[in-house]
Structure 1
Amino acid sequence: MATFAIGQKASFSKTITESDIVQFAGLSGDFNPIHIDREYAKETRFGQRIAHGLLTTSLLSGLLGMHLPGKGSVYLSQTLRFVKPVLIGDTITAHAEVLSFSEEKRVLTLKTDCFNQNGVLVLEGEAAMLVPREEASA
């Protein structure tokens, strides 16, 4: 049976590409020109296209589903605060840290943050995950 310790950490990194943004737009249906249209985006406060906030958030899904708590876990909730924009070419590192674990309910609460390649916080939040009672065989 998997057990978790307060303060236990994991991270996962990915560089955001033009292709990621186009594919996420197609998948989500979010073709907001701030993400897709270079000319439009030049006139915004950011001066260039930015990644979808939920594209950045999806890195947390990969981290939590594959690393901590890992396979078999299921999202119960996620709070989010978008702090800074993510740009094409940014390498984003998603971090998770265990805040609490209810052995009885099998609910893990984690601090979730994403930072860019310069160590700048771009997203912060907290997740609750339901973890399996037994690890599935590999």
Structure 2
Amino acid sequence: MNEFGGYHIEDLFVGMSATYCKTLVERDVLLFAHACGDRNPVHLDEQYARATQFGGRIVHGMLSASVISAAIASRLPGPGSIYLSQDLKFVRPVRLGETVVAAVSVSEIDPAKRRVVLSTVCKVAGQIVISGRALVMATTSRIDDKASLPIVET
């Protein structure tokens, strides 16, 4: 493990996995809308949202997906890792008050580049709401590699 409690690239193995859970509530949606500027009424206006295919307000897709970021940053590879890319498929909407469980699992490791490919999935009540893959740069225990970070190329 690194000095922040995350895993070094040398500690990882294919199949290693971790989860992170977050219940997304009204305050999260309002703060997210303010932070990013996405004020789509399907997220903020119940009357408008009731008339849509969703039948009520839904959480921003990217807010729901951000639980994956929390799983990566806090669990696997954890603190010190750098998010490089993410592919997402939004399968179902997330509603206010629902708990998103993000699971990340190591599917590929490139030690020379310190790259890790993670399978990512978010579930609510056992049903997949988001699936995808992430590319992450992990820390290393090698002193010679800590002097300069590699150029981020995907």
Q: Per the shorter chain, which TM-score range?
A: over 0.9
Query: Percent identical across equivalent pairs?
Result: 40
Distance 2:58 2:140 in 1: 40
Question: How many pairs were matched up?
Answer: 134
Runs of 5+ unmatched residues, structure 1: none
TM-score where L is the length of structure 1: 0.94
- Residues 1:132 and 2:139 aligned together: yes
Distance 2:100 2:45 in 1: 22
Moved over 3 A (4+): none
Q: Which residue of 2 aligns with 1:61?
A: 69
Note the aligned Cα RMSD (angstroms): 1.2
Distance 2:28 2:141 in 1: 34
Distance 1:72 1:92 in 2: 23
Distance 2:71 2:127 in 1: 19
Q: Which residue of 2 aligns with 1:9?
A: 17
Q: Which residue of 2 aligns with 1:41?
A: 49
TM-score where L is the length of structure 2: 0.84
Runs of 5+ unmatched residues, structure 2: 2-7, 143-154
Q: CA deviation at 1:57?
A: 1.0
Distance 1:84 1:6 in 2: 28
Distance 1:71 1:16 in 2: 23
